Structure 1
Amino acid sequence: MEVRLAESYGFCFGVKRAIKIAERSRGGVTFGALIHNPKEIERLKNSFGVRLAQSLNELKSGDQVIVRTHGIPKNDLLSLRQKNISITDATCPYVTKPQKIVEEMSDQGYQIIIFGDIDHPEVKSVMSYSSTPVIVVGNLEELKEKKILKRVALISQTTKQTSKFLEIAHFLMCCAYETRVFNTICNATFQNQDATRKLAKEVDIMVIVGGLTSSNTQQLLNIAKEYCKDSYLIEDEKNLNKKWFVGKKICGLSAGASTPDWIIQNVKRAIEAL
């Protein structure tokens, strides 16, 4: 098989920063999964002694706590600061930006609308900074069912598609008296999505590598399927199925922002060996 890598793929700035923080901690504790890639989480545990805590009750005095890249709810952060523990905030700067916007806009009386997945930890984190109830929608049709106030502020989960965000922005500008639009989609997300879209048009099959629970990786898969119906999502080379490649000559390869390069290269070599 011929394998073509997307022009932009894999680790983004925020993830690289968080991984370095975790490695330097040598035995630190991440509050929530640091990133959405179980293989990398396992590597950090085995090689650097970094363990995972899913709740405040799992943390004890003296722990070196690392706040996950997606951020945590505001009240959880305040509770951490009241404990006798060391805290390193690895929240991606592209996530702290919408946190601040939501806090400021809600204090000014704007209705907060977030384009995102309500169960995603990033969205939960950002929502917690609002002083008023927040509307979270996954698409334009969901928004049309909501009661829109006169003054609204729109932000996006950092890993969403720009085109769908703009659809929502246009709708709000037509039905609200005042609409404040903040483009909080990460540049790396946009670049990876654009590169995947371009590559999917040129190949017979697309393979996206990343955590199955990763939002940005799922977005890459959705984009790839628009232009290449034979597109698949895997976590590593063990998930490859030889039947996918029957009759195919060129395979496109991209990866989510939480996917380490060592996994991507393992997948690339496995496909080339077919």
Structure 2
Amino acid sequence: MKIELAESYGFCFGVKRAIKIAEENRNSATYGPLIHNANEIDRLKNDFNVALSENLDSFKAGETAVIRTHGIPKQELGLLHERHVNVVDATCPYVTKPQQICEEMNAQGYDIVIFGDEAHPEIKGVKSYAEDHVYVVNAPEEIDALRLREKVATVAQTTRKIEEYQQIIGKLMETHKEVRVFNTICNATFDNQDAVRKLSKEADVMIVIGGKNSSNTKQLHSIAKEYCTDSYHIESQEDLHQEWFSGKNFCGISAGASTPDWIIDDVIDKIKSLTHS
């Protein structure tokens, strides 16, 4: 069995930065999961005593709150500061950018259209930076139901496919004279998606490693499945099944932006043991 890693995969700049910040703030707590990878969150808890709290009210004055890579709503950030909590912001700079754009464009009288998943923490945070006239869409046809004013600005969730964002932009251009387009999809997302597309065209089985609730990992798996029918999204070596590799010759591997190297190494070792037994 030939096993090959995608040319670009795994930890992105923002995740590496956030983990370093968390490791430097021992005995703290993250507000919400720092990244979408339960195994890495467990490691931070066990090795650095960095806890996880989903409850804003659990942070008291003088305690340290590490803000997750996806960011949090503007109002919640303000509350933490008001309560004299020591805020350490690990929000990815690629996420901070659309937050700033929403705030600035909205102040200039633009309606804001955000392409993304309204339930995703990144989008909840980004949306909160616009005062009003802000809408989240997941598909071009959803734009028809919006009562948009003349001036529109649009941003995208950092981990979405560029092709899908172009459809949203095209739809807005059909009906509005002034559309300000900001490409907020991050470079790491482009690189990882291009690499998994290339590899899955050659492989006869694809393994995509990352958290089940990781948006960018889901996107990678979706792309892989377009070109390689036998593509599987797993969180760790425990999810692998020997029958996936039966009769296969070439296994391609990719990993989401929140997947650490140690999990990838474990998966590769497990695949080798399954295909050599």
Residues 14-51 of structure 1 deviation map (CA, whole Å, 9 limit, x = unaligned): 00000001011111110111000000000000000000
User: Match for residue 215 of structure 2?
Assistant: 215
2:145 aligned residue: 145
Q: Supply the distance in 2 between the matched residues of 1:115 and 1:25 (Cα, whole angstroms).
A: 33
Supply the AA of the counterpart residue of 1:36: H
Is 1:71 matched up with 2:71?
A: yes
1:240-259 mapped onto 2 (5 Å cutoff): 240-259=240-259
Matched, 1:230 2:230: yes
Q: Which residue of 2 aligns with 1:128?
A: 128
Shift of 1:6: 0.2
Residue 158 of structure 1: aligned partner: 158
CA distance in 2, matches of 1:36, 1:27: 20
Runs (5+) with no aligned partner, structure 1: none
2:175 and 2:221 map into 1 onto residues whose CA distance is 32
Q: Distance in 1 between matches of 2:4 and 2:55?
A: 41
The number of residues matched between the two structures is 274
Shift of 1:192: 0.3
Describe how 1:69-108 pairs up with structure 2 within 5 A. 69-108=69-108
Q: 1:255 & 1:266 partners in 2: Cα distance?
A: 13
4+ runs of 1 displaced by more than 3 Å?
A: none
Which residue in 2 is equivalent to 1:113?
113
Structure-2 change in CA distance of 1:83 and 1:178 (3 Å): same
Distance in 2 (alpha carbons) for counterparts of 1:120 and 1:245: 33
CA distance in 2, matches of 1:167, 1:95: 21
Range with greater deviation from structure 2 (59-68 or 250-259): 59-68
CA distance in 2, matches of 1:229, 1:236: 20
Query: 1:270 maps to which residue?
Result: 270
The corresponding residue for 2:22 is: 22
- Give the SS at the match of 1:197: helix
The residue number in structure 1 matching 2:205 is 205
* Matched-pair contact (CA < 8 Å) for 1:11–1:256: yes
In 2, the alpha carbon distance for the partners of 1:174 and 1:143 equals 11
- 1: CA distance, partners of 2:233 / 2:73: 30
Contact 1:2 1:272 in 2 (8 A): no
Q: Normalized against structure 1, the TM-score is what?
A: 0.98
1:196/1:254 contact within 8 Å kept: yes
TM-superposition CA deviations, 1:144-169 (whole Å, max 9, x none):
33333321101000000001111111
Q: What are the Cα deviations for residues 160-187 of structure 1, in whole angstroms up to 9, with x where unaligned?
A: 0001111111121121121000000000
Alpha-carbon distance in 1 for matches of 2:141, 2:217:
23
RMSD: 0.9
CA separation in 2, counterparts of 1:142 and 1:233?
A: 28
Alignment pair present for 1:171 and 2:146 = no
Shift of residue 135, structure 1, vs aligned partner: 1.3
Quick one: distance in 2 between partners of 1:250 and 1:84? 55
Give the TM-score normalised by structure 2: 0.97
User: How far does the alpha carbon of each residue in 1:187-225 deviate from its partner, in whole angstroms, 9 at most, with x for none?
Assistant: 001100000000000000111000000000000011111
1:5 Cα offset (Å): 0.3
| Same amino acid, percent of matched pairs | 56
Q: How far apart in 2 are the matches of 1:11 and 1:61? A: 33
SS in 2 for 1:119: coil
Give secondary structure in 2 for the equivalent of 1:22: helix
Residue 208 of structure 1 aligns to a residue whose secondary structure is strand
Which residue type is aligned with residue 158 of structure 1?
Answer: T
CA distance in 2, matches of 1:146, 1:111: 10
Q: Which shifted more, 28-37 or 133-142?
A: 133-142
Question: Which secondary structure does the structure 2 equivalent of 1:3 belong to?
Answer: strand
Q: Using the alignment, how far apart are the partners of 1:5 and 1:142 within structure 2?
A: 37
